[in-house]
Amino acid sequence: MKSKRSYLIILGLAITIIAILGYGCENKASTSKSGGALSSDVASQVYVPPGEYDEFYGFMSGGFSGQIGVYGIPSGRLLKVIPVFSVDPEKGYGFNEETKPLLNTSHGFVPWDDAHHPELSQTNGKTNGKWIFINGNNTPRIARIDLSTFETTEIIEIPNSGGNHSSPFTTENTEYVVAGTRFGVPYPQKDVAINSYAENFKGMLTFVSVKEEGDMDIAFQVLLPAFDYDLAHSGKGNSHGWTFFTTYNTEEKSTLLEVNASQNDKDFIAAVNWKKAEEYIKQGKFKEIPAEYAHNVYDEKSHVATSTLKKSVKVLTPEDCPGLVYFLPTPKSPHGVDVDPTGEYIIGNGKLSADLTVHSFSKMIKAIENQSFETTIEGIPVLKFEEVVAGVVKDAGLGPLHTEFDGKGNAYTSFFISSDVVKWKLGTWEVVDKAKTFYSVGHIMIPGGDSKEPQGKYLVALNKITKDRYLPTGPELCHSAQLYDISGDKMKLLLDFPTIGEPHYAQGISADRIVPNVKKFYPIEENTHQYRAMGEKDARVEREGNIVHVYMTTIRSHFAPDNIEGIKVGDKVYFHVTNLEQDWDVPHGFSVMGANNAELLIMGGQTETLIWEPKKEGVFPFYCTDFCSALHQEMQGYIRVSPRNSNIALSWRLGEDEEI
């Protein structure tokens, strides 16, 4: 009896142990959903010790945030958010008087845009760390960001365009950045019936020249059928001189595009010979067409942006310019078009096809020479598919979108629908590896991965959906980036981190190409701002009718002046604040009670202006918002507002009762 009981106890124990073990296994299985990212050496691969620098900069578009997120790679640490097309109260960008003109367009002040594709400037096809460009999709624009200051310094509007998606995608020496309209628009823009699309609408490609010092200008536009020009990449090496644009909606429909623009088995990659375009421009084969567009430039010496409305563009038409544009048939509504580091292969990522179509540049040139044309559309020869195709990567996944290169003969393609990154070999087209993404990858980025010299150590996948990857934050969840080690044969997931807005494309560059040129402050002696105060002796207040100019300075830790009287209700007060600091990382902030705009955040040597229109009598404090020193909290002042008809004289002071 006794032994029987002990058998039962042992049996009970055994069942319990098995159950616990089983539960343990299940638990382990559910935590390793990240696809083996828990292997032991992974943490050390992304660990950048406190105080150390990351090896790469990563620039990720903010998408609908209109910004660029600057990250350290491999750590995934967010270093800075650069406001580009969107106002940013944190930095006063678009709120201070100096930067407002940067956001001017032919539609007036447009304080937001959808920023998709950052693109680093290049020399001989290699990223040079000088600038990064990015497109504004909604109100077509291209911005240039200076990488010595990480500030937006120029924005040009693209006329005759709607949805600037296939942009900016630089040429090998940043001769041009390009723009292509994703939405056909009436040409010229006019009031017509939408269903007259095929007849009245056009698609325009734009080449924006970039001077040595960065000045952008619309060199010419190319008038094409009203297809949707989706993405682009410029040629390199042998194909330098050409830029390739993908198209969809070659059906030229204007409604229910998800069905109507998905009917043709093949759409096109448009190959534009821009060197030929330059010849035609020289020969005067263009039409000068009226067009209104803004060109906005920020001057680093005056710290002021100016906006100029331009009035016309040079337009080339393929019918008048033979050899300018060819169409390469490509299945099916291709999304990204990517050119390999040698410039020979042009990859059409057939979004609605399972396959990747790879065209050969040399075959394309031969087909052009042999006039192997299927047909001609509006003066544009359509090359025979089989005459240009080099190979097909078959059944690698579902929904191929974008391809990057590692410079070692491999290509990496993102597959949106199947949430994969697929590694395949250029030339043999065989799939050699696949890695899962979490979830729904859009663009991918390898530092220099779309240049002639990729730095193929890491790959970043930019995911549209995160679902359960992070602590939940209500209905709206972050998008994410995932970092893979691609130095070995197999891709290895290392890290997964949230991003700002929606990252579309991204760019990466080794830090040594940027760090030596980064500025620490603006030399005060170079400041040419009209309302600068070069020292406290220049600090003063001037009245012109109801406009008051306050010439104010900041230095640790006081404003000069910090007491102002004689302001009246209804005045327009301009605070022109010059930061006299000449040291790294000592910005001062300026905020005043009741301001209807934002704060100022002024870097050393810079002057920024906030407009303040007091509506009530009283004495209102202002203060420094950026913790600047041990005496930051004391960095404050008062401005006294008297009634409209008051006789209080304008006065100002700093310290004791002495006037300054």
Footprint of other proteins (CB under 8 A):
523, 555-556, 580-583, 629-631, 634
What is the DSSP-derived secondary structure letter of residue 649? P
Smallest separation, CB 271 to other proteins (Å): 51
Of 482 and 527, CB closest to other proteins: 527
Q: Which residues contact 361 (CB under 8 A, 6 or more apart)?
A: 235, 238, 239, 242, 343, 344, 345, 346
Smallest separation, CB 582 to other proteins (Å): 3
Residue 645 burial (CB count, 10 A): 7
Smallest separation, CB 585 to other proteins (Å): 8
What is the DSSP-derived secondary structure letter of residue 164? B
Smallest separation, CB 628 to other proteins (Å): 10
Of 29 and 630, CB closest to other proteins: 630
User: Residue with structure tokens 């057939």?
Assistant: 350
Of 451 and 554, CB closest to other proteins: 554
Of 51 and 474, CB closest to other proteins: 51
Please provide residue 18's backbone torsions phi and psi, each rounded to the nearest 5 degrees. -60, -45
User: Residue with structure tokens 């600038």?
Assistant: 131
Of 378 and 634, CB closest to other proteins: 634
Of 215 and 526, CB closest to other proteins: 526
Smallest separation, CB 289 to other proteins (Å): 51
Q: Which long-range contacts (CB under 8 A, 24 or more apart) does 196-204 make?
A: 197/226, 197/252, 197/253, 197/254, 198/226, 198/252, 201/226, 201/252, 201/254, 202/160, 202/226, 203/227, 203/228, 203/229, 203/247, 204/160, 204/161, 204/180, 204/315
Of 272 and 580, CB closest to other proteins: 580
Smallest separation, CB 73 to other proteins (Å): 23
Smallest separation, CB 658 to other proteins (Å): 14
Cα→Cα distances 550→8, 491, 572, Å: 91, 59, 11
Cβ(610)–Cβ(96) below 8 Å: yes
Q: Which amino acid is at 303?
A: H
Smallest separation, CB 583 to other proteins (Å): 5
DSSP SS3 for 29: helix
Of 285 and 556, CB closest to other proteins: 556
Tokens of 505: 């494309």
What is the DSSP-derived secondary structure letter of residue 570? T
